[in-house]
Amino acid sequence: MDATGFRRLWDEIDPIGRADTGGYVRFSWSDADLALRAWFDAQAAERGMRVETDRNGNRFAWWDPEPEQVVDPAAPRRHGAVLTGSHFDSVPHGGAYDGPLGIVSAFLAVDELRRDLRATGATLKRPIAIAAFTEEEGGRFGIPCLGSRLMTGAVDADRARGLTDRDGTTLADAMRAAGADPDALGPDPERLQRIGAFVELHVEQGRALDGEGDAAVGVASAIWPHGRWRVVVTGAGDHAGTTRLPDRHDPMLTFAFAVLAARKEARLAGGLATIGRVEAVPNATNAIASQVTAWLDARAPDEGVLGEILSGFKSKVHERAARDGTHVRISRESETPVVEFDLELRDRIAALLGGAPVLPTGAGHDAGVLAAHVPTAMLFVRNPTGVSHAPGEHASDEDCAAGVDALAAVLRDLAC
Ligand code: GLV
Ligand code: MN
Ligand code: MN
Ligand code: MN
């Protein structure tokens, strides 16, 4: 397709949730999310696609084949739907493309495939569905890929209902306020059974395609194991002007050490660790904090390295807390093992795309969750800045259009 066709549809969602930082705040179940869901429904309706919202708030638009074309309705695993799509939600002040690119591209790929079927007389043999998964970033409720994890049973529904956002609103209340039913949350094996394969298109979150790869579109090989840990440091709140230095139990000191320790342990072990979020209580300029909560995000090429980073980090931070006279509690919020995408599907797609580069990623995706249940693959669209989870994230309209062409070719290959 041409770049202007991509831009036309992209511009429809571009203003939704854009903040004055130039980034996007599209938290799940917020007004921006609901506006994007309404847009999704309108796009599906325009194409005669049937919309379903599952018990976990994930949205699906279905394009069903004519009944006589279905290969074997009794074998949904082999002949189930080809699912594509991604997520609408963003991290706070994130980029425009992470998530929505996969959904916009999916609708455009459906258009392209339809034109192709009309021109060639070929028919659809498996249903095609477009997904918009809920709370992929964990930007509001803390657990990434929450919608797909609930669907596959990887997260307990009671735990999910009680998760709170920064304002203390629970997921259950946020869903109710948006007109959804939190009591319905839970595993959905029947829906999972209807999916034969999942292909998620995503903006690249590094610069491999722009550099050595030199290609508009690549194929994912694997997702690094990764996780999130909550670090709560408790000390003693006191007056900044009257408390002698030796008398302090300052959790901010332990926290500052933890930021450096995370980086050092990651460097020594050969992985990545980030503390990108912190909350201090009472958060006053002239008071020693009583408590500091920080979130550690750690990722590594394999689980051994991830384990090394974690154990090094924990022991160093506990040692330091003892010196600072503070108390530290480190608890796991989520953890995802290494994901190797389906080898057959990945090689088939790379060949179909004329030998597209195959690359691993350190970013998590719903595709990583679904990969444990259905053959799954990912397409990456070149990002010349390499930036992601920040406003500088970018992909050119031409490359996005190339992504649509690639996705349409994959859908044709798998569903026709
Ligand atoms: C989600 O995008 C993540 O990898 O953090
Ligand atoms: Mn994403
Ligand atoms: Mn992301
Ligand atoms: Mn992600």
The closest ligand to the CA of 365 turns out to be 4
Phi, psi of 307 (to 5 degrees): -60, -40
The answer to whether 394 is annotated as binding is: no
Q: If we measure between CA atoms, which residue out of 154, 382, 377, 221 comes closest to residue 144?
A: 154
Structure tokens at 17: 């949730």
pLDDT reported for residue 77: 47
Residues 341-365: what's their mean pLDDT? Answer: 97
Which residues surround ligand 1 with Cβ inside 6 Å?
137, 144, 363-364
Structure tokens at 250: 């300052």
Span from the CA of 218 to the centroid of ligand 2 (angstroms): 16
Angle separating helix axes 397-415 and 343-352, nearest 10 degrees: 120
Report yes or no: 85 and 103 within 8 Å, Cβ to Cβ. Answer: yes
- DSSP per-residue letters across 232-250: EEE---EETTTS-GGG---
Report residue 100 CA to chain centroid gap: 11
pLDDT in tens, 375-393: 999 999 999 999 999 999 9
Strand, helix or coil at 409?
A: helix
The residue whose two tokens read 């194409």 is 47
The answer to whether 202 is annotated as binding is: yes
Work out which ligand 1 atom sits closest to the CA atom of 145: 1
CATH number of 226-336: 3.30.70.360
- DSSP per-residue letters across 261-303: HHHHHHHHHTSEEEEEEEEEES--TTEE-SEEEEEEEEE-SSH
CB atoms within 10 A of CB 325: 16
The closest ligand to the CA of 393 turns out to be 3
Work out which ligand 1 atom sits closest to the CA atom of 226: 4
CB atoms within 10 A of CB 379: 25
pLDDT in tens, 302-331: 999 999 999 999 999 999 999 999 999 999
ω before 282 within 30° of 0 (cis)? yes
Residue type at position 225 = P
Handedness of CA 298, 303, 305, 308 (dihedral sign): positive
Report residue 353 CA to chain centroid gap: 24
Q: Which CATH superfamily is domain 3-224+338-415 in?
A: Zn peptidases (3.40.630.10)
- Where in the sequence of the chain do the CATH 3.30.70.360 domains occur? 226-336
Residues 9-32: what's their mean pLDDT? Answer: 97
Q: How far apart are CA 129 and CA 151, in angstroms?
A: 16
Query: ipTM value of the model?
Result: 0.92
Strand, helix or coil at 404?
A: helix
DSSP 8-state code for residue 65: P
Span from the CA of 74 to the centroid of ligand 1 (angstroms): 36
Structure tokens at 166: 């920064």
Span from the CA of 373 to the centroid of ligand 3 (angstroms): 21
Structure tokens at 170: 């629970």
Span from the CA of 136 to the centroid of ligand 1 (angstroms): 8
Strands 217-223, 358-361: parallel, antiparallel or unpaired by DSSP? parallel
pLDDT reported for residue 68: 67
- Where in the sequence of the chain do the CATH 3.40.630.10 domains occur? 3-224+338-415
Query: What is the pLDDT of the chain when averaged over all its residues?
Result: 96
pLDDT reported for residue 393: 98
The answer to whether 249 is annotated as binding is: no
pLDDT in tens, 255-273: 999 999 999 999 999 999 9
Burial 20-45 (b: 16+ CB within 10 A, else e): eeebbbbbbbbebbbbbbebbbebbe
pLDDT in tens, 73-108: 555 445 799 999 999 999 999 999 999 999 999 999
